[in-house]
Amino acid sequence: MGRPAQISRPAVLTAALAVADERGLDALTMQAVAARLGVTAMALYRHVRDKDDLLDGLVEALLTEFPPPDPGLPWRERLAGTARAIRASAARHPAVFPLLLRRPAGTEQARRVRDGVLDALREAGLNDERAARAERLISTAVLGYAASEAAGRFDHHPQDVRDADFAHLLAVIGACVDPEGSRSCRG
Amino acid sequence: MGRPAQISRPAVLTAALAVADERGLDALTMQAVAARLGVTAMALYRHVRDKDDLLDGLVEALLTEFPPPDPGLPWRERLAGTARAIRASAARHPAVFPLLLRRPAGTEQARRVRDGVLDALREAGLNDERAARAERLISTAVLGYAASEAAGRFDHHPQDVRDADFAHLLAVIGACVDPEGSRSCRG
DNA sequence: ACCTGAACACCGTTCAAGT
DNA sequence: ACCTGAACACCGTTCAAGT
């Protein structure tokens, strides 16, 4: 007993993310992750329950990358900053990012990101219920845009068009949340 | 020669969609599709190039389900009708639907749906460039919401909350496109 | 022309066995 | 306690062979 562990769950997830980033989701096999760690595939099962658990861990790892917005900034910039950080994460991890839209949003990191957005929306003057609804729609729109871009759905548009699209999305969100905004957006 | 075909590409796609609807994307194997057609897996390869081609065909089949809006209706209702049809398709095919966000939007059916939206936006008074941008953002938001719902990301919210969320999304889209809407939404 | 049998390389996963 | 070897059931895909 007491044989020292060669690998750990964080090490497994880091290796898995690297494999997915470099070679895509199809190449993300237990054997590929193990090989990168210098270990056999069966050794991973002590640190992740199965491959689905590994994918869940990757989603959680991605969420960790979304930095908490500086609380000193006004709500509008906190919102835009988080959205831009999410899009940047999608660009770094195009293979894994789309999984964010396919997995439940109830994990610790997911709650942390959501609470940051909710705080900003309440500071903008929305009550709890409207803030919760706006958070769901904003998150979905931002995740959807970033996932589309990562998956190559907009590959036929040049980068500057996509940048302008995203800027426009942020502008719409800002306008809809703004206390001075149109009535329909806040209903 | 001249042995009559037992199966066809449409038959393969119909069987594949049924398997995915009933048992999920993981159960969508070449063998399962073949079994449903009373044929061996190898027979499918005469009608689809490989499994990826089969998935592309499913995406195209899903797009076919989005009905062309009645051109007699005002633009606002055409837009809302298309969005609701897309959401309904996601509810019917929750396993396959998320693939729409992962595959390029350049196929024939994808263009047909897009052109319907573009027509509505131009009728709302947007010029070509703004209509194209609005189409990309609206499509992404609607697909993102429907895909999230289909994948179970909102399962912890009851149906009526999700219905209200979607209605709110439609309202925001309508307000942003409306000629009388706020300035930021149309920039 | 269309489908099948047999085969190949590869998966995820288990379990008893080694250290 | 942690990792491995061997094994199992399953995948997608090929190719020559049947009809």
In this prediction, residue A169 carries a pLDDT of 98
* Predicted confidence band of residue B16 (pLDDT cuts 50, 70, 90): very high
B154: Cβ contacts below 8 Å, ≥ 6 apart? A136, B148, B162, B165
What are phi and psi for residue A7, nearest 5 degrees? -130, 170
Verify that B82 and B126 share a domain, yes or no: yes
CATH number at residue A131: 1.10.357.10
In this prediction, residue A186 carries a pLDDT of 57
CB contact under 8 A, A156 and B187: no
CATH number at residue A14: 1.10.10.60
Q: Is residue A82 part of a domain?
A: yes
Q: Is residue A54 part of a domain?
A: no
Give the C-alpha separation, B187 to A132, whole Å: 26
CB contact under 8 A, A176 and B181: no
| Strand boundaries in chain A, DSSP class E | none
Check residue B5 and report its DSSP letter.
P
Which chain B residues are closer than 8 Å to A176 by Cβ? Answer: 172, 175-176, 185
Q: Return the amino acid letter for A94.
A: P
Q: Is residue B104 part of a domain?
A: yes
Segment B100-123, tens digit of pLDDT: 998 777 899 999 999 999 999 999
In this prediction, residue B102 carries a pLDDT of 87
Verify that A34 and A83 share a domain, yes or no: no
Verify that B29 and B74 share a domain, yes or no: no
Mutation site for B-interface testing, chosen from A129, A184, A186 by largest number of B Cβ within 10 Å:
A184
Crossing angle of helices B128-151/B108-123, nearest 10°?
120
The answer to whether A153 and B105 are in contact (CB under 8 A) is yes
Q: Which CA-bearing residue is nearest the C1' of C14?
A: A42
In this prediction, residue A184 carries a pLDDT of 52
Chain B interface includes A168 (CB < 8 A): yes
Verify that A103 and A172 share a domain, yes or no: yes
Q: Which CA-bearing residue is nearest the C1' of C11?
A: A29
Q: Is residue A18 part of a domain?
A: yes
Verify that A44 and A72 share a domain, yes or no: no
Which chain A residues are closer than 8 Å to B103 by Cβ? Answer: 151, 153
* Out of B133, B140, B155, closest to residue A104 by CB: B155
Number of domains into which chain A is organized = 2
How buried is A82 (Cβ within 10 angstroms: 0-12 exposed, 13-18 middle, 19+ buried)? buried
Segment A115-165, tens digit of pLDDT: 999 999 999 999 999 999 999 999 999 999 999 999 999 999 999 999 999
Where in the sequence is the domain holding A103, given as residue range(s)?
Answer: 68-185
**A27, A56, A104, A117 from A107: Cα distances, Å:** 26, 10, 8, 16
Verify that B40 and B108 share a domain, yes or no: no
Segment B147-185, tens digit of pLDDT: 999 999 999 999 999 999 999 999 999 998 887 765 556
Verify that A90 and A166 share a domain, yes or no: yes
Q: Is residue A33 part of a domain?
A: yes
Q: Is B108 helix (H, G, I), strand (E, B) or coil?
A: helix
Verify that A107 and A157 share a domain, yes or no: yes
pLDDT average, residue stretch B68-72:
93
First to last CA, chain B: 63
Q: Is residue A3 part of a domain?
A: no
Q: Is residue A58 part of a domain?
A: no
Residues 69-128 on B with a CB inside 8 Å of A are 98, 101-106
How close is the nearest chain B Cα to the Cα of A108, in Å?
15
pLDDT of A2 > 70? The answer is: no
Chain A interface includes B137 (CB < 8 A): yes
Verify that A80 and A172 share a domain, yes or no: yes
* Predicted confidence band of residue B2 (pLDDT cuts 50, 70, 90): low
In this prediction, residue B127 carries a pLDDT of 96
Which chain A residues are closer than 8 Å to B170 by Cβ? Answer: none
Verify that A15 and A88 share a domain, yes or no: no
Q: Which of A104, A11, A22 is nearest to A54 (CA)?
A: A11
**Average of per-residue pLDDT values in chain A:** 94
Verify that B43 and B72 share a domain, yes or no: no
CB contact under 8 A, A140 and B141: yes
* Out of A102, A157, A178, closest to residue B151 by CB: A102
Q: Which of A181-185, B73-77, B119-123 has the lowest mean pLDDT?
A: A181-185
Q: Is residue B58 part of a domain?
A: no
Output residues with Cβ under 7 Å from nucleic strand D. A 1-7, 34, 39-40, 42-43, 46-47; B 3, 27-32, 41-42, 45, 50-52
Verify that B23 and B110 share a domain, yes or no: no
Chain A interface includes B181 (CB < 8 A): yes
